Amino acid sequence: MKRGGWLKRRKGLNPRSKTKRYATRPRETPYMRWVKTLPCELRDYSPCEGEIEAAHVGWTGRGLGAKCLDIETISLCHHHHHDDQHGVRGLFRKLGKLGRIDWYADRIKATQALWIATHGPLPKGEAVHRRLAA
């Protein structure tokens, strides 16, 4: 066995791809700003703490570890958003997983209906609007 010298790579390294590593999702900034002006959806169930956040709670267009579209957001205070994301407590524990999905769907539709009543049609450029309207 020959010793000494540097280890040599038999093949060259593959060059990095010039494309973006992650797909970018369409952003609806005016809609997100408007959602943050609404009161917390859970204000009637328990006291709110912190500022209002736009919680991505929808399910269409999601892959593993990906956020849903911006038009599938509801307004939650920091406390309730944290409860929802990290350990289900309070209302969400009582509802269970399927009940929580139904509750989210109702709240998303109500938020979108309020946007339509005050601002007109939902932001354009989203192919999933047809599915959400059904």
Q: What is the pLDDT of residues 53-98, one digit of tens each?
A: 998 887 765 666 677 888 888 999 988 888 766 656 666 677 777 8
Position 52 confidence tier, pLDDT thresholds 50, 70, 90: very high
Averaged pLDDT, 103-109: 90
| Average pLDDT value for the chain | 76
Higher model confidence: residue 45 or residue 130?
45
pLDDT score recorded for residue 23 = 54
Higher model confidence: residue 15 or residue 125?
15
21-60: burial string, b at 16+ Cβ within 10 Å, e else: eeeeeeebeebbebbeeeebbbeeeeebeeebbbbbbbee
